[in-house]
């Protein structure tokens, strides 16, 4: 009996020992956006090699990330959809952008190469509303005088699952089309008036490649990987910038972050001649009170490291690091809000 | 005599251990049986409870409305219910005759050396994960349907009155017809395995007497084998139907996941299982989540009704067979 007690005590001691050793090597937990998951995984891998900090990030979706950080089960949440300052204050949360990406439309049209098709925002909205049904519609023909557009039916492809990619896409359509804003609105999933739904970016990419006459929207990385025939979209300044590092960064730089509170801004339809119109941001959410705790401080250290040294990782994965002016503003925001 | 006495005393001694052991065993068996009932009841109640806010908010309209709008928090279950039933129906229409043919071939027609390999191949089909069927469906089967099958069907059946509307539409390759056919392929192994096993159980004497009376092979099957195995065959069909109703992954790939109501079988739709799998992770409002759980409850009820109907038909058949004898 005595030996059993000794063994149990020993086991408990070992267990507690393991627990405390985990607690000293700081572990940060996060949950949310699937859009940012590849980057956070790469960052945390590199970061844990340089420091003893481990980041455990679960890509459960933006909605889940918001729910988890509000419930206080994770150190930080990640969402592709920003939360309004009023809601942030009510929940005691802070919000800042982490990385910039883009949503790019792509088509499957015989004889139409990548970057050849030009579309305006309102034309995209009309296609997604199901009002423009054929590729040789006069509105599309006048936008593309140099192209021979076939008399093919348009098949709209959208996401079937709720997604931050969808949020940025429909946010853009709402900004450029009053009818879209009134009839459909915006959210991580909406009631689509037309088309088929693919699960995840890979599902949408597969549908576009399978269906002749299809148009769909994808994260930029999937356009690159699958060599899709992307579409050039007219931006707020009337230009047709190529999707890529320069135009995404231009959008992040020309966006008027300084006029917002808590970085409550969706990057779509950014002003600026070279700004890509459907640029997206992933936001990090963290409890204001957590900044006083070791795990909260470790989380900020991690993102500070990401902003200063994670740039090459981000670009390798087709994300765009935040411009220096923005990271400086985020640092000031942290200082102003630390307890 | 003394041997008999010993034996008797042993018999008498046995119950002394028996009652407790028996009772324990009985209690264990009852416990096992009841735990299944409790689990089933618990699951039904839990799903109903989870879906209750949606049922309360939308009332009976939840079952009759086409809308599915997460932005305006307006949810109706008609499109997923319709998609589930239509794809399962297409699956059964294709799978039952094919399974029947496979089972008959394996038990009545095929030479003996061929029966084992073909039987094994069909059983292997049942072991393929459904996501593989989904990917094969999307990358191989859907383009084939779009390029070769659907345009032909439109030309052939499109002009027909009433029926034509089912086959009239753009040949996307992704939609209810493709999903139904893939489901059909997926349930063939289940139905044909049951059919083959029960066809084998037909006594050899019955077969030989039928053949001896001059029955053709067709008459043997139609008049002897099928009547003898009818209830078990129906059981196999309902097993397949149950699987077709709840199949998720493969359907998600090829059904198109659109909450649109279309009569054309070429058009995309959604099923209950696919809608839940697609949307649950990002269902960020309580009513949205409750509506998805409510959909799950509807699927639960549909499956329950199908199985209950199956049992009822089996009971009727058994009854009519009993009266005939």
Provide the ipTM: 0.74
Whether the per-residue pLDDT at B10 is higher than 70: the answer is: no
pTM: 0.79
**Using the beta-carbon criterion (under 8 Å), do B71 and A63 form an inter-chain contact?**
no
Over chain B, what is the mean pLDDT? 86
Q: How far is A201 from chain B (nearest CA, A)?
A: 13
CB contact under 8 A, A160 and B252: yes
Residue A290 has pLDDT above 60, yes or no: yes
Q: Which chain A residues are Cβ-neighbours of B253 within 8 angstroms?
A: 199, 203
3-state secondary structure of B161: coil
Which pLDDT does position B169 carry in this prediction? 78
Top-confidence residue, A220 or B6: A220
**pLDDT recorded at residue B257:** 86
Q: What is the pLDDT of residues B171-222, one digit of tens each?
A: 888 899 999 999 999 999 989 988 888 888 888 898 889 989 998 888 888 8
In a domain, B267, yes or no: yes
User: What's the pLDDT score for residue B18?
Assistant: 66
B258 with A197: Cβ contact below 8 A:
yes
As given in the structure block, the two tokens for residue A328 are 């400086």
Whether B47 is covered by a domain: the verdict is no
Express each pLDDT in B255-275 by its tens digit: 988 888 888 888 889 999 999
- Residues on chain B touching A184 (C-beta within 8 angstroms): 71
pLDDT for residue B82 is more than 90: yes
pLDDT of residue B92: 94
Tell me what the mean pLDDT of segment A181-204 comes to.
88
Cα of B172 to nearest chain A Cα, Å: 6
Residue B122 lies in a domain: yes
Q: Do A210 and B174 touch (CB under 8 A)?
A: yes
Compare all CA atoms of chain A with the CA of B269 and give the residue at the minimum distance: A196
Pick the residue of B284, B285, B287, B292 with the most A CBs within 10 A to test the interface with A by mutation: B284
Specify burial of residue B282 (Cβ count, 10 A radius: 0-12, 13-18, 19+).
Answer: buried
- Among B172, B173, B179, B286, most A C-beta atoms within 10 A, so best to mutate, is B172
Residues A133-145 have pLDDT tens digits of 999 999 999 999 9
With CB atoms and an 8 Å threshold, state whether A61 touches B270: no
Question: How far off is chain B from A315, nearest CA to CA, in Å?
Answer: 27
B305 domain residue, yes or no = yes
pLDDT digits (tens, 9 = 90+) for A241-286: 999 888 998 888 888 887 888 888 888 998 888 999 999 999 999 9
pLDDT over 70 at A25, yes or no: no
* Length of chain B (residues): 325
Which residues of chain A are at the B interface, by a Cβ-Cβ cutoff of 8 Å?
60-64, 66-67, 153, 155, 160-163, 184-192, 194-199, 203, 206-207, 210-211
Whether A63 sits inside 8 A of B268 (CB atoms) is no
B253 shares contact with chain A (CB less than 8 Å) = yes
**pLDDT given at position B165:** 82
Q: Does B146 touch chain A (CB under 8 A)?
A: yes
Do the domain assignments include residue B28?
Answer: no
Question: How many domains is chain B built from?
Answer: 1
In a domain, B104, yes or no: yes
**pLDDT for the residue A13:** 46
| Residue B20 domain flag | no
Q: Chain A neighbours among B 78-137 (CB < 8 Å)?
A: none
Local confidence band at B12 (pLDDT 50, 70, 90 cut-offs): low
pLDDT at B87: 94
Percent of all residues in chain A with a pLDDT value above 70, rounded to a whole number: 93
8 A C-beta contact, residue B288 and residue B300: no
Q: What is the CATH number of the domain that holds B192?
A: 1.10.3720.10
Which of B268, B278, B292 is most worth mutating to test chain A (most A CB atoms within 10 A of its CB)? B278
Least CB-CB distance to B279: which of A161, A192, A206? A161
Inspect the interface and report whether the beta carbons of A162 and B282 lie closer than 8 Å: yes
What's the rounded mean pLDDT across residues A152-158?
92
What is the average per-residue pLDDT within B219-241?
86
Question: What is the DSSP secondary-structure string of B18-77?
Answer: HHHHHHHHHHHHHHHHHHHHHHHHHHHHHHHHHHHHHHHHHTTHHHH---EETTTTEE--
When mean pLDDT is compared across A182-186, B3-7, B138-142, the lowest value belongs to B3-7
Average pLDDT (B98-119) is 89
Interface A-B, measured as beta-carbon pairs within 8 A, has a size of 96
B172 touching A (Cβ < 8 Å) = yes
pLDDT at B323 over 70: no
Distance from CA of A160 to the nearest CA of B (A): 6
| Domain ranges, residue B298 | 56-324
Task: Examine residue B23 and state whether it is found in any structural domain, yes or no.
Answer: no
State the Cα–Cα distance between residues A17 and A280, nearest whole angstrom. 44
pLDDT per position as a tens digit, A102-136: 999 999 998 888 989 999 999 999 999 999 999 99
Contact A129, A121 (CB under 8 A): no
Q: Per-residue pLDDT averaged across B227-248, rounded? A: 86
Q: Which conformational region is residue A200 in: left (phi greater than 0), alpha (psi within -120 to 50 degrees), or beta?
A: left
Query: Is there a contact between B252 and A190 if contact means CB atoms under 8 Å apart?
Result: no
Q: Is the pLDDT of residue B325 over 50?
A: no
Locate the chain B residue with the closest alpha carbon to A200: B278
Nearest CA-CA partner of A168 in A119, A201, A194, A202? A201
pLDDT at A5: 52
């Amino acid at each position: 009996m005595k030996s059993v007690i000794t063994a149990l005590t020993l086991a408990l001691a070992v267990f507690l020992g393991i627990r405390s050793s985990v607690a000293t090597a700081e572990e940060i937990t996060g949950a949310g956006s699937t859009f940012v998951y590849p980057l956070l995984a790469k960052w945390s891998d590199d970061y844990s090699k340089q420091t003893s900090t481990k980041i455990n990030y679960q890509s459960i979706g933006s909605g889940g990330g918001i729910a988890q950080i509000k419930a206080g089960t994770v150190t930080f949440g990640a969402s592709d959809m920003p939360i309004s300052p009023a809601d942030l204050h009510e929940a005691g949360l802070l919000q800042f952008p982490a990385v910039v990406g883009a949503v790019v439309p792509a088509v499957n049209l015989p004889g139409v190469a990548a970057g050849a098709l030009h579309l305006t925002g309102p034309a995209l909205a009309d296609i997604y509303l199901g009002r423009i049904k054929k590729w040789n519609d006069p509105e599309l023909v006048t936008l593309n005088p140099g192209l021979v557009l076939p008399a093919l039916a348009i098949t709209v492809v959208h996401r079937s699952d709720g997604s931050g990619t969808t949020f940025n896409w429909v946010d853009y359509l709402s900004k450029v089309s009053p009818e879209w804003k009134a009839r459909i609105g915006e959210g991580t999933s909406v009631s689509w008036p037309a088309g088929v739904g693919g699960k995840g970016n890979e599902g949408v990419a597969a549908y576009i490649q399978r269906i002749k006459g299809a148009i769909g929207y994808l994260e930029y990385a999937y356009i690159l990987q699958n060599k899709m025939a992307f579409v050039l979209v007219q931006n707020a300044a009337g230009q047709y910038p190529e999707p890529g590092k320069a135009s995404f960064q231009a959008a992040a730089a020309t966006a008027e972050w300084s006029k917002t509170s808590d970085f409550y801004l969706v990057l779509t339809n950014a002003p600026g001649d070279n700004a890509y119109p459907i640029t997206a941001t992933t936001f990090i959410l963290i409890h204001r009170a957590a900044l006083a705790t070791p795990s909260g401080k470790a989380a900020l250290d991690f993102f500070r490291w990401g902003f200063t040294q994670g740039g090459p990782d981000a670009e390798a994965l087709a994300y765009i690091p935040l411009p220096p002016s923005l990271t400086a503003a985020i640092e000031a925001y942290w200082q102003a809000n630390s307890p | 005599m003394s041997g008999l006495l010993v034996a008797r005393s042993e018999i008498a001694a046995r119950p002394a251990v028996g009652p407790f052991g028996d009772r324990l065993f009985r209690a264990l068996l009852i416990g096992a049986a009841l735990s299944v009932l409790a689990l089933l009841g618990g699951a039904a109640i839990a799903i109903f409870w989870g879906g209750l806010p949606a049922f309360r908010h939308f009332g009976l309209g939840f079952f009759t409305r086409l809308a599915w709008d997460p932005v305006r928090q307006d949810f109706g279950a008609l499109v997923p219910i319709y998609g589930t039933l239509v794809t399962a129906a297409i699956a059964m229409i294709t799978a039952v005759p094919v399974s029947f043919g496979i089972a008959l071939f394996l038990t009545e027609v095929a030479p003996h050396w061929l029966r084992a390999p073909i039987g094994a191949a069909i059983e292997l089909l049942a072991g393929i994960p459904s996501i593989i069927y989904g990917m094969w469906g999307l990358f191989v089967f859907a383009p084939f349907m779009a390029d070769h099958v659907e345009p032909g069907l439109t030309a052939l059946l499109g002009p027909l009155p009433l029926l034509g509307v089912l086959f009239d539409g753009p040949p996307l390759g992704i939609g209810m017809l493709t999903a139904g056919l893939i489901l059909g392929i997926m349930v063939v192994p289940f139905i044909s395995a049951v059919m083959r096993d029960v066809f084998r159980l037909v006594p050899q004497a019955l077969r030989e007497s039928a053949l001896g009376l001059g029955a053709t092979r067709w008459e043997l099957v139609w008049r002897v084998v099928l009547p003898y195995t009818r209830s078990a065959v129906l059981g196999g069909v309902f097993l397949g139907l149950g699987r077709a109703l709840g199949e998720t992954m493969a359907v998600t790939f090829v059904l198109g996941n659109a909450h649109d109501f279309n009569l054309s079988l070429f058009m995309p739709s959604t099923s209950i299982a696919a809608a839940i799998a697609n949307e649950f992770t990002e269902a960020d409002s309580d009513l949205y989540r409750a509506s998805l759980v409510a959909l799950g409850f509807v699927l639960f009820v549909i499956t329950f009704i199908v199985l209950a109907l199956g049992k009822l038909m089996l009971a009727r058949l058994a009854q009519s067979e009993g009266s005939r004898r």
